Amino acid sequence: MRKRVVITGIGGLCGLGTSAPAIWDAMRAGRSAIGPISNPALHDVKVATGCEIRELPEHGVERKQLVAMDRFSLLAVIAAREAAHHAGLSIGEANTHRIGATVGVGVCGWEVIEENYRAILLEGKSRAGIFSVPKAMPGAPAGHVSMNLGLRGPVFGVTSACSSSNHAIASAVDQIRLGRADAMLAGGTDAPMVWGILKGWEALRVLSPDTCRPFSADRQGLVLGEGAGMVVLESYDHAIARGADILAEIAGAGFSGDASDIVAPTIDGPERAMRACLADAGLRAEEIDYLNAHGTGTKANDQIETAAIRRVFGDHAYKLSVSSTKSMHAHCLGASGALELIACVMAIREGIVPPTANYREPDPECDLDITPNTARERKVRTAISNAFAFGGTNAVLAIRAV
């Protein structure tokens, strides 16, 4: 019998707020944080809409560590510290080797890369900053979480574009089930609000000029945001032994590859990932109450995800509560899945389904109950969270009440 893995702490920050409770309060209220980009350095981007963290909270990270951190690492550390505090997880010499961290990242430390381009190509400097490589590398956030919290168990980064958080969380579950750790900090982070990243996304022609309207017939595309989300995962026995408050249980995970196109999704890949998740969790389709959709707000993605949900859930698809919280916190790339897991945990805890904000017009191709604009009270015993990424890397998580 495999080990049960539970969630005992959550932490996060994004445009909606700088703590998990603040994020959930905004989600529950259906409040979108998407708006005009305020950073003056981004004045010449054509689509100047995003979801920024306007001010970071007090974090207490020492300057010695800060000088070697890019923004995406700092966001991960702040979220991890909150999650560990929420879980009441005490870390010391007795258990440090049994606690680790996995952090998903969609891109990398792009701020330092742009700083170096400006310094060398525009300002004529002869060399890059001394910490450029460790700041930029995609594995940096996991390393900084480990250093900041003193974690000496399994520590590694995961990168699979927009599925990175879900892959990282599932990988952390595996470490616990394999006996390599008793507890793991897991989640994702990204800080893509920089010129080069925004110009690259502009070129793809998938950015919305105003806001994100998933599943609405008049949707115009996705919106980029920054943020981080982290959870504390523990074996059920470990959590019980230390008297932890168990928030929910990771019931299962499912993965698939489209093996088709680097950017265009298929129906088959998401369908197989959802089916694999249900099988891994030992759940029937009709047992799922809430589905947090990938729901990016692009024409193709929303229609394809709806079709895949119909295939997997059959008639029950129309009894599901579905929503896309990206309509409020935008697409935070490698952090999105972790922020959406917070939504799932709190939906189970409070019996409230967060809405799909900014919804205006029904789309016959997206005909599910997508919880438009207003949160809804519903007993949520089980939920699944979808993440589908460029490259056809699909990852789905299932969680349930304990």
Residue 41 has what pLDDT?
Answer: 81
Tell me the pLDDT band of 44, cut-offs 50, 70 and 90.
confident
CA angle in degrees (0–180, nearest 5) for 72-261-275: 80
Output the CA torsion 85→183→352→270 (10° steps). Answer: 140
Residue 321 has what pLDDT?
Answer: 98
Mean pLDDT of 60-80: 96
Q: Which residues are marked as active site?
A: 162, 294, 331
Mean pLDDT of 245-260: 98
Residue 231 has what pLDDT?
Answer: 99
If DSSP states are collapsed to H, E and C, what string results for the chain?
CCCCEEEEEEEEEECCECCHHHHHHHHHHCCCCCEECCCHHHCCCCCCEEECCCCCCCCCCCHHHHCCCCHHHHHHHHHHHHHHHHHCCCCCCCCHHHEEEEEEECCCCHHHHHHHHHHHHHCCCCCCCCCHHHHHCCCHHHHHHHHHHCCCCCEEEECECECHHHHHHHHHHHHHHCCCCCEEEEEEEECCCCHHHHHHHHHHCCECCCCCCCCCCCCCCECEECEEEEEEEEEHHHHHHCCCCCCEEEEEEEEEECCCCCCCCCCHHHHHHHHHHHHHHCCCHHHCCEEECCCCCCHHHHHHHHHHHHHHHHHHHHCCEEECCHHHHCECHHHHHHHHHHHHHHHHHHCEECCECCCCCCECCECCCCCECCCEECCCCEEEEEEEECCCEEEEEEEECC
Question: Do the beta carbons of residue 164 and residue 104 sit within 8 Å?
Answer: yes
- Per residue in 318-334, pLDDT tens? 999 999 999 999 999 99
Question: Do the beta carbons of residue 377 and residue 352 sit within 8 Å?
Answer: yes
Residue 39 has what pLDDT?
Answer: 87
Mean pLDDT of 71-85: 98
pLDDT above 80: residue 43: no
Residue 254 has what pLDDT?
Answer: 98
pLDDT above 90: residue 118: no
Task: Please name each of the domains of the chain with its CATH number.
Answer: 5-241 (3.40.47.10), 252-400 (3.40.47.10)
pLDDT above 90: residue 40: no
Between 382 and 120, the more confident residue is: 382
- Per residue in 175-186, pLDDT tens? 999 999 999 999
Mean pLDDT of 115-132: 89
**Cα diameter, the chain:** 64
Residue 1 has what pLDDT?
Answer: 83
- Per residue in 328-380, pLDDT tens? 999 999 999 999 999 999 999 999 999 999 999 999 999 999 999 999 999 99
Mean pLDDT of 125-141: 94
Find the length of the chain: 402
Instruction: Indicate left, alpha or beta for 392 from its phi (over 0: left) and psi (-120 to 50: alpha).
Output: left
Question: Do the beta carbons of residue 185 and residue 157 sit within 8 Å?
Answer: no
Nearest to 174 by CA among 114, 252, 121: 252
Whether the CA torsion 301, 303, 306, 311 is positive or negative: it is negative
Between 45 and 251, the more confident residue is: 251
pLDDT above 80: residue 47: yes
Average pLDDT, the chain: 97
Residue 382 has what pLDDT?
Answer: 98
Residue 161 has what pLDDT?
Answer: 97
- Per residue in 86-97, pLDDT tens? 999 999 999 999
Instruction: Indicate left, alpha or beta for 161 from its phi (over 0: left) and psi (-120 to 50: alpha).
Output: left
